Amino acid sequence: MRKSAILAVALALVPAQAYCQAPNAAVMNLEFSWVGTTACSPRSPAFTVRNVPAGTTVLDFTMTDLNVPSFAHGGGRIAYAGNSNIPQGAFTYVGPCPPRETHNYQWTVTALSAAGAVLGRAAAVRPFPPR
């Protein structure tokens, strides 16, 4: 099976978030790096978020292991005050800890208003350990 087909199946298995989606939610950009992240570390990686919509007060981050989507890695929420660079260790979660082989991890960030409405969303995927 081709990697793109496997990724498509894995993405279909990712559980949906229970948020109220704004009808005109923005498409944001998300980048992250595993640099400085050791296996099984609970410190979040560094992120860069772009095109965060006006009115965003919270960024909600969730990580999914696309090789084992049923494993709950969790994520974290941070207050958003306009900074596009989120430093490493901004929150704790169950870090990447693949048993033997490289796994693909997807981070999803959701921009929320003070009322909890979804204003935008973005996702990015990277292998761990990095190749």
- Please report the beta strands in 1-131, taking only residues with DSSP state E, as ranges in sequence order: 20-27, 29-33, 46-50, 58-65, 75-79, 85-86, 103-112, 117-128
List the domain boundaries for the chain.
3-128
Considering the entire predicted model, what is its pTM?
0.81
Structure tokens at 71: 């494993």
Mean pLDDT score of the chain:
85
Backbone angles phi, psi at 4, to 5 degrees: -65, -35
For the segment 48-93, what is each residue's pLDDT rounded down to a tens digit?
999 999 999 999 999 999 999 999 999 999 999 999 999 999 999 9
Residue 72 is predicted with a pLDDT of: 93
Identify the CATH homologous superfamily for domain 3-128: PEBP-like (3.90.280.10)
Between 17 and 41, whose confidence is greater? 41
